[in-house]
């Protein structure tokens, strides 16, 4: 199949397939005499693996490590678990940061009268007004 068909079958855009090939995440596929890429079921399976890993938020580097472990039948599952556990910790940190942002913004929205006056605690906070800094 060509790159468009591989993209459709895997859920990875043709642009991303080319990018993954460029950075070495995937092995460049065979090419026809006309220099068109030719993908088979194995390449599409690898692309689906990458798509799923990226959907779960793994970085390109983590995805490369997981892909290498997936392709290495002699791997220890402990290595995979370590990568996934580290990713969970990073996600939990990000969630806590996002919850902190929601709390701060909710407080600022509550403090904003939302009327026709120009006073706005949201803008004051963004500008780092001295009144806010002194708290």
pLDDT, mean of residues 9-28: 96
Give the pTM.
0.81
Residues 59-69: tens digit of each pLDDT: 999 999 999 99
pLDDT-derived band at 131 (thresholds 50, 70, 90) equals low
* End-to-end CA gap in the chain: 63
Cβ-Cβ contacts under 8 Å for 98 (sequence gap 6 or more):
none
pLDDT, mean of residues 79-100: 98
- Give the pLDDT confidence score for residue 129 in this predicted structure: 66
Question: Quick one: tokens of 42?
Answer: 């194995």
User: In whole angstroms, how large is the CA radius of gyration of the chain?
Assistant: 23
- Give the pLDDT confidence score for residue 98 in this predicted structure: 98
1-75 carries CATH number 1.10.1660.10? yes
Residues 84-93: tens digit of each pLDDT: 999 999 999 9
- Give the pLDDT confidence score for residue 62 in this predicted structure: 97
- Give the pLDDT confidence score for residue 22 in this predicted structure: 96
Q: Where are the domains of the chain?
A: 1-75, 79-135
106-115 long-range contacts (CB < 8 A, ≥24 apart) are: none
């Amino acid at each position: 199949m060509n790159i468009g068909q591989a993209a459709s079958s895997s859920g990875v855009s043709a642009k991303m397939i080319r990018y993954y090939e460029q950075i070495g995440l995937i092995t460049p596929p065979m090419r026809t005499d006309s220099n068109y890429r030719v993908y088979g079921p194995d390449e599409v399976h690898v692309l689906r693996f990458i798509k799923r890993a990226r959907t779960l938020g793994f970085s390109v580097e983590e995805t490369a490590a997981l892909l290498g472990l997936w392709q290495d039948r002699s791997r220890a599952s402990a290595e995979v678990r370590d990568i996934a556990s580290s990713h969970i910790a990073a996600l939990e940190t990000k969630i806590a940061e996002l919850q902190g942002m929601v709390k701060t913004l909710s407080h600022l929205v509550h403090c904003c009268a939302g009327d026709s006056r120009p006073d706005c605690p949201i803008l004051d906070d963004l500008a780092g007004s001295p009144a806010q800094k002194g708290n």
